[in-house]
Protein backbone atom coordinates (compact mmCIF):
# COMPACT_ATOMS: atom_id res chain seq x y z
CA UNK A 1 0.00 0.00 0.00
CA UNK A 2 1.80 3.12 -1.09
CA UNK A 3 -0.92 5.72 -1.72
CA UNK A 4 -3.10 6.82 1.19
CA UNK A 5 -6.41 8.44 0.39
CA UNK A 6 -7.62 10.64 3.25
CA UNK A 7 -11.24 11.70 2.94
CA UNK A 8 -11.63 14.77 5.13
CA UNK A 9 -14.83 16.63 5.85
CA UNK A 10 -14.90 20.17 7.21
CA UNK A 11 -18.21 19.93 9.01
CA UNK A 12 -18.66 23.68 9.50
CA UNK A 13 -22.46 23.55 9.58
CA UNK A 14 -23.84 26.94 10.61
CA UNK A 15 -20.62 28.07 12.34
CA UNK A 16 -18.87 29.32 9.20
CA UNK A 17 -21.85 31.61 8.48
CA UNK A 18 -22.81 32.81 11.97
CA UNK A 19 -19.19 32.93 13.16
CA UNK A 20 -15.79 33.06 11.52
CA UNK A 21 -15.19 35.98 9.22
CA UNK A 22 -18.78 36.30 7.94
CA UNK A 23 -20.79 36.69 11.15
CA UNK A 24 -24.01 36.89 9.16
CA UNK A 25 -27.55 36.68 10.53
CA UNK A 26 -29.13 36.16 7.09
CA UNK A 27 -31.60 33.27 7.35
CA UNK A 28 -30.78 32.28 3.77
CA UNK A 29 -27.08 31.92 4.48
CA UNK A 30 -27.63 30.22 7.84
CA UNK A 31 -29.87 27.73 6.02
CA UNK A 32 -26.97 26.85 3.71
CA UNK A 33 -25.04 25.84 6.81
CA UNK A 34 -28.03 23.93 8.17
CA UNK A 35 -27.97 21.77 5.04
CA UNK A 36 -24.58 20.54 6.27
CA UNK A 37 -26.36 18.19 8.66
CA UNK A 38 -28.31 16.65 5.76
CA UNK A 39 -25.13 16.31 3.71
CA UNK A 40 -23.33 14.74 6.68
CA UNK A 41 -26.03 12.07 7.04
CA UNK A 42 -25.72 11.21 3.34
CA UNK A 43 -21.94 11.04 3.55
CA UNK A 44 -22.02 8.83 6.65
CA UNK A 45 -24.39 6.45 4.83
CA UNK A 46 -22.02 6.34 1.86
CA UNK A 47 -18.97 5.72 4.06
CA UNK A 48 -20.81 3.01 5.99
CA UNK A 49 -21.90 1.36 2.78
CA UNK A 50 -18.33 1.24 1.50
CA UNK A 51 -16.68 0.66 4.89
CA UNK A 52 -14.36 3.63 4.44
CA UNK A 53 -12.58 5.51 7.25
CA UNK A 54 -12.53 9.32 7.21
CA UNK A 55 -11.65 12.41 9.22
CA UNK A 56 -14.11 15.12 10.26
CA UNK A 57 -12.70 18.56 11.12
CA UNK A 58 -15.59 19.69 13.27
CA UNK A 59 -16.02 23.00 15.11
CA UNK A 60 -17.27 22.72 18.70
CA UNK A 61 -20.29 24.77 17.62
CA UNK A 62 -21.33 21.98 15.23
CA UNK A 63 -20.95 19.41 18.02
CA UNK A 64 -23.07 21.52 20.37
CA UNK A 65 -25.71 22.07 17.64
CA UNK A 66 -25.97 18.44 16.45
CA UNK A 67 -24.61 16.25 19.29
CA UNK A 68 -26.33 13.05 18.14
CA UNK A 69 -25.07 13.38 14.59
CA UNK A 70 -21.52 14.02 15.82
CA UNK A 71 -21.77 11.01 18.13
CA UNK A 72 -22.76 8.97 15.06
CA UNK A 73 -19.52 10.11 13.35
CA UNK A 74 -17.42 9.04 16.32
CA UNK A 75 -19.28 5.78 16.94
CA UNK A 76 -18.82 4.78 13.28
CA UNK A 77 -15.06 4.92 13.91
CA UNK A 78 -14.34 8.12 11.99
CA UNK A 79 -11.78 10.55 13.35
CA UNK A 80 -12.99 13.87 14.80
CA UNK A 81 -10.41 16.65 14.58
CA UNK A 82 -10.12 20.31 15.56
CA UNK A 83 -11.61 23.15 13.47
CA UNK A 84 -12.16 26.01 15.91
CA UNK A 85 -15.14 26.54 18.21
CA UNK A 86 -17.20 28.77 15.88
CA UNK A 87 -14.94 28.66 12.82
CA UNK A 88 -12.49 31.29 14.09
CA UNK A 89 -9.52 31.82 11.81
CA UNK A 90 -6.24 32.64 13.61
CA UNK A 91 -5.83 36.38 13.97
CA UNK A 92 -2.88 38.53 14.88
CA UNK A 93 -5.42 41.02 16.26
CA UNK A 94 -6.69 38.53 18.84
CA UNK A 95 -4.99 38.11 22.22
CA UNK A 96 -3.11 34.88 22.76
CA UNK A 97 -5.37 34.24 25.77
CA UNK A 98 -8.42 34.40 23.46
CA UNK A 99 -6.81 32.05 20.91
CA UNK A 100 -6.05 29.65 23.74
CA UNK A 101 -9.63 29.83 25.05
CA UNK A 102 -11.04 29.04 21.58
CA UNK A 103 -8.64 26.12 21.23
CA UNK A 104 -9.49 24.70 24.66
CA UNK A 105 -13.23 25.00 24.07
CA UNK A 106 -12.98 23.27 20.68
CA UNK A 107 -10.82 20.50 22.13
CA UNK A 108 -13.26 19.96 25.04
CA UNK A 109 -16.21 19.52 22.62
CA UNK A 110 -14.34 16.89 20.61
CA UNK A 111 -13.14 15.11 23.74
CA UNK A 112 -16.72 14.89 24.98
CA UNK A 113 -17.83 13.03 21.84
CA UNK A 114 -14.65 11.18 20.97
CA UNK A 115 -13.49 10.23 24.46
CA UNK A 116 -10.01 11.65 23.84
CA UNK A 117 -8.57 14.91 22.55
CA UNK A 118 -8.13 15.51 18.81
CA UNK A 119 -4.86 14.40 17.21
CA UNK A 120 -5.14 16.85 14.35
CA UNK A 121 -6.16 20.35 13.42
CA UNK A 122 -7.17 22.25 10.33
CA UNK A 123 -7.59 25.92 11.02
CA UNK A 124 -10.65 27.54 9.43
CA UNK A 125 -9.84 29.03 6.05
CA UNK A 126 -6.64 27.00 5.91
CA UNK A 127 -4.81 29.67 7.90
CA UNK A 128 -1.92 28.69 10.12
CA UNK A 129 -0.61 31.72 11.97
CA UNK A 130 2.87 31.58 13.59
CA UNK A 131 1.36 31.48 17.08
CA UNK A 132 -0.56 28.31 16.23
CA UNK A 133 2.46 26.09 15.77
CA UNK A 134 3.42 26.71 19.40
CA UNK A 135 -0.15 26.18 20.60
CA UNK A 136 -0.59 22.93 18.65
CA UNK A 137 2.72 21.62 20.03
CA UNK A 138 1.79 22.64 23.57
CA UNK A 139 -1.57 20.87 23.35
CA UNK A 140 -0.03 17.67 22.00
CA UNK A 141 -1.34 17.65 18.44
CA UNK A 142 0.25 15.10 16.12
CA UNK A 143 -0.54 16.85 12.86
CA UNK A 144 -1.89 19.97 11.18
CA UNK A 145 -3.60 20.18 7.80
CA UNK A 146 -3.83 23.88 6.91
CA UNK A 147 -1.20 24.33 4.20
CA UNK A 148 0.61 22.48 1.46
CA UNK A 149 4.35 22.99 1.03
CA UNK A 150 4.08 19.71 -0.92
CA UNK A 151 0.98 18.57 -2.78
CA UNK A 152 1.17 14.85 -1.93
CA UNK A 153 3.87 14.32 0.70
CA UNK A 154 3.55 14.83 4.44
CA UNK A 155 6.24 17.16 5.75
CA UNK A 156 7.43 18.45 9.12
CA UNK A 157 6.12 21.87 10.11
CA UNK A 158 8.96 24.38 10.60
CA UNK A 159 9.47 27.21 13.03
CA UNK A 160 11.64 30.24 12.50
CA UNK A 161 11.27 30.85 8.77
CA UNK A 162 12.20 34.39 7.80
CA UNK A 163 10.46 35.79 4.71
CA UNK A 164 13.10 38.18 3.37
CA UNK A 165 12.75 40.35 0.32
CA UNK A 166 16.38 41.53 0.21
CA UNK A 167 17.76 38.00 0.02
CA UNK A 168 16.79 34.33 -0.12
CA UNK A 169 14.04 32.93 2.05
CA UNK A 170 15.39 31.58 5.33
CA UNK A 171 14.01 28.15 6.22
CA UNK A 172 13.54 27.46 9.94
CA UNK A 173 13.93 24.24 11.89
CA UNK A 174 11.44 21.34 11.69
CA UNK A 175 9.34 20.69 14.79
CA UNK A 176 7.44 17.68 16.07
CA UNK A 177 4.28 18.39 14.08
CA UNK A 178 3.33 16.68 10.81
CA UNK A 179 1.81 18.72 7.99
CA UNK A 180 -0.69 16.79 5.90
CA UNK A 181 -1.40 18.81 2.75
CA UNK A 182 -4.47 21.00 2.45
CA UNK A 183 -4.87 22.83 -0.84
CA UNK A 184 -7.77 24.63 -2.51
CA UNK A 185 -7.27 22.50 -5.64
CA UNK A 186 -8.59 19.48 -3.74
CA UNK A 187 -11.25 21.42 -1.83
CA UNK A 188 -14.89 21.33 -2.99
CA UNK A 189 -15.71 24.85 -1.77
CA UNK A 190 -14.11 27.05 -4.47
CA UNK A 191 -15.50 24.85 -7.25
CA UNK A 192 -19.07 24.52 -6.06
CA UNK A 193 -20.05 27.13 -3.52
CA UNK A 194 -21.24 30.52 -4.78
CA UNK A 195 -19.31 32.80 -2.46
CA UNK A 196 -19.11 36.06 -4.34
CA UNK A 197 -16.87 37.90 -4.96
CA UNK A 198 -14.30 35.26 -4.12
CA UNK A 199 -15.75 32.34 -6.04
CA UNK A 200 -18.55 31.91 -8.55
CA UNK A 201 -19.00 28.24 -7.67
CA UNK A 202 -21.60 26.00 -9.33
CA UNK A 203 -19.04 24.26 -11.53
CA UNK A 204 -20.07 21.09 -13.32
CA UNK A 205 -19.28 18.00 -11.21
CA UNK A 206 -17.80 16.48 -14.39
CA UNK A 207 -15.22 19.29 -14.56
CA UNK A 208 -14.27 18.71 -10.95
CA UNK A 209 -14.10 14.94 -11.45
CA UNK A 210 -11.67 15.56 -14.30
CA UNK A 211 -9.41 17.70 -12.10
CA UNK A 212 -9.52 15.51 -9.00
CA UNK A 213 -9.10 12.18 -10.81
CA UNK A 214 -6.15 13.59 -12.80
CA UNK A 215 -4.52 14.87 -9.60
CA UNK A 216 -4.96 11.40 -8.11
CA UNK A 217 -3.64 9.69 -11.27
CA UNK A 218 -0.51 11.84 -11.24
CA UNK A 219 0.16 10.79 -7.64
CA UNK A 220 -0.59 7.13 -8.32
CA UNK A 221 1.01 6.71 -11.72
CA UNK A 222 3.93 9.15 -11.66
CA UNK A 223 4.92 9.50 -8.01
CA UNK A 224 3.79 6.11 -6.71
CA UNK A 225 3.59 7.09 -3.05
CA UNK A 226 2.03 9.82 -0.95
CA UNK A 227 -1.20 11.07 0.55
CA UNK A 228 -4.22 12.29 -1.39
CA UNK A 229 -6.11 14.61 0.97
CA UNK A 230 -9.55 15.56 -0.27
CA UNK A 231 -11.25 18.40 1.63
CA UNK A 232 -15.04 18.23 1.44
CA UNK A 233 -17.77 20.26 3.11
CA UNK A 234 -21.01 18.33 3.77
CA UNK A 235 -23.08 21.44 2.98
CA UNK A 236 -21.33 21.63 -0.42
CA UNK A 237 -20.58 18.07 -1.58
CA UNK A 238 -23.87 16.79 -0.09
CA UNK A 239 -25.99 17.75 -3.10
CA UNK A 240 -27.10 14.95 -5.46
CA UNK A 241 -24.99 15.58 -8.55
CA UNK A 242 -21.86 16.11 -6.47
CA UNK A 243 -22.50 13.01 -4.36
CA UNK A 244 -22.74 10.90 -7.53
CA UNK A 245 -19.46 12.43 -8.75
CA UNK A 246 -17.83 11.58 -5.40
CA UNK A 247 -19.06 7.99 -5.70
CA UNK A 248 -17.47 7.81 -9.14
CA UNK A 249 -14.18 9.15 -7.81
CA UNK A 250 -14.20 6.65 -4.92
CA UNK A 251 -14.78 3.83 -7.43
CA UNK A 252 -11.85 5.01 -9.54
CA UNK A 253 -9.44 5.29 -6.61
CA UNK A 254 -10.53 1.99 -5.05
CA UNK A 255 -9.91 0.20 -8.37
CA UNK A 256 -6.24 1.23 -8.42
CA UNK A 257 -3.53 -1.03 -7.00
CA UNK A 258 -1.71 -0.13 -3.82
CA UNK A 259 -4.28 2.37 -2.57
CA UNK A 260 -5.57 2.45 1.01
CA UNK A 261 -8.14 4.76 2.58
CA UNK A 262 -6.88 6.05 5.92
CA UNK A 263 -7.74 8.57 8.60
CA UNK A 264 -5.43 11.56 8.85
CA UNK A 265 -4.32 10.39 12.29
CA UNK A 266 -3.17 7.07 10.80
CA UNK A 267 -1.46 8.79 7.87
CA UNK A 268 0.44 11.05 10.28
CA UNK A 269 1.39 8.07 12.48
CA UNK A 270 2.70 6.21 9.45
CA UNK A 271 4.78 9.21 8.37
CA UNK A 272 6.22 9.47 11.88
CA UNK A 273 7.12 5.77 11.94
CA UNK A 274 8.75 5.93 8.53
CA UNK A 275 10.71 8.99 9.58
CA UNK A 276 11.90 7.20 12.73
CA UNK A 277 12.98 4.20 10.68
CA UNK A 278 14.74 6.36 8.10
CA UNK A 279 16.63 8.05 10.89
CA UNK A 280 17.82 4.77 12.30
CA UNK A 281 18.61 3.40 8.85
CA UNK A 282 20.82 6.38 8.15
CA UNK A 283 23.01 5.26 11.01
CA UNK A 284 22.86 1.48 10.99
CA UNK A 285 21.26 -1.61 9.52
CA UNK A 286 17.83 -2.33 10.99
CA UNK A 287 16.59 -5.91 10.82
CA UNK A 288 12.99 -7.03 11.27
CA UNK A 289 13.35 -7.52 15.03
CA UNK A 290 14.80 -4.06 15.51
CA UNK A 291 12.05 -2.59 13.34
CA UNK A 292 9.46 -4.28 15.57
CA UNK A 293 10.94 -2.56 18.60
CA UNK A 294 10.62 0.83 16.97
CA UNK A 295 7.14 0.33 15.54
CA UNK A 296 4.71 -1.24 18.00
CA UNK A 297 1.63 -1.35 15.75
CA UNK A 298 1.56 -4.76 14.02
CA UNK A 299 -0.47 -3.76 10.96
CA UNK A 300 1.67 -0.66 10.44
CA UNK A 301 4.77 -2.80 10.73
CA UNK A 302 3.51 -5.11 7.98
CA UNK A 303 2.76 -2.13 5.75
CA UNK A 304 6.16 -0.58 6.39
CA UNK A 305 7.97 -3.80 5.51
CA UNK A 306 5.90 -4.17 2.34
CA UNK A 307 6.46 -0.48 1.55
CA UNK A 308 10.22 -0.87 1.96
CA UNK A 309 10.22 -3.79 -0.46
CA UNK A 310 8.05 -1.89 -2.99
CA UNK A 311 10.34 1.11 -2.80
CA UNK A 312 13.39 -1.09 -3.22
CA UNK A 313 11.94 -2.67 -6.34
CA UNK A 314 11.05 0.70 -7.83
CA UNK A 315 14.53 2.00 -7.22
CA UNK A 316 16.12 -1.26 -8.37
CA UNK A 317 18.03 -1.46 -5.10
CA UNK A 318 17.78 -3.51 -1.94
CA UNK A 319 17.21 -1.73 1.35
CA UNK A 320 15.80 -4.39 3.69
ZN1 LIG B 1 -14.31 25.28 7.71
Report CA(286)–ligand 1 centroid distance (Å): 43
Report CA(83)–ligand 1 centroid distance (Å): 7
Residues of the chain with pLDDT > 70: what percent? Answer: 87
Residue 319 has pLDDT above 60, yes or no: no
Q: List, for residues 101-158, the tens digit of each pLDDT value.
A: 999 999 999 999 999 999 999 999 878 877 899 999 999 999 999 999 999 999 999 9
- Of 132-141, 203-212, 294-303, the range with the lowest mean pLDDT is 294-303
Report CA(133)–ligand 1 centroid distance (Å): 19
Residue 228 has pLDDT above 60, yes or no: yes
Report CA(285)–ligand 1 centroid distance (Å): 45
CB atoms within 10 A of CB 294: 14
Taking the domain 3-162+170-262, which CATH number applies? 3.20.20.370
Q: List, for residues 305-317, the tens digit of each pLDDT value.
A: 655 554 445 334 3
Ion ligand 1 neighbours, Cβ < 5 Å = 10, 12, 124
Residue 145 to residue 179: CA distance in whole angstroms:
6
**Closest of 161, 129, 165 to residue 144, by C-alpha:** 129
Helix (H, G, I), strand (E, B) or coil at 2: coil
Report CA(58)–ligand 1 centroid distance (Å): 8
Provide mean pLDDT across the span 245-260: 97
Residue 317 to residue 210: CA distance in whole angstroms:
35
Burial class of residue 233 (count of CB atoms within 10 Å of its CB; 0-12, 13-18, 19+): buried
Angle formed by the axes of helices 27-50 and 240-254, nearest 10°: 30
Report CA(11)–ligand 1 centroid distance (Å): 7
Provide mean pLDDT across the span 9-30: 93
Report CA(59)–ligand 1 centroid distance (Å): 8
Amino acid sequence: MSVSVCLTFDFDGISSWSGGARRTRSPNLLARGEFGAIGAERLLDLLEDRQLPSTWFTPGHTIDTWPDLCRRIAHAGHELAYHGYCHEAPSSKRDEADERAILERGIACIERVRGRPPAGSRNPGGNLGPRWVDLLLEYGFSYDSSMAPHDFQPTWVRKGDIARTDGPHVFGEPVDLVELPFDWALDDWPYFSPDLPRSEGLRSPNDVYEIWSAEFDYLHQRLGAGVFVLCLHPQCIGRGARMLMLERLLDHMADCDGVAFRTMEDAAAEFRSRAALDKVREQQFVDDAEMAEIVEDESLLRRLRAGSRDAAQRKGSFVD
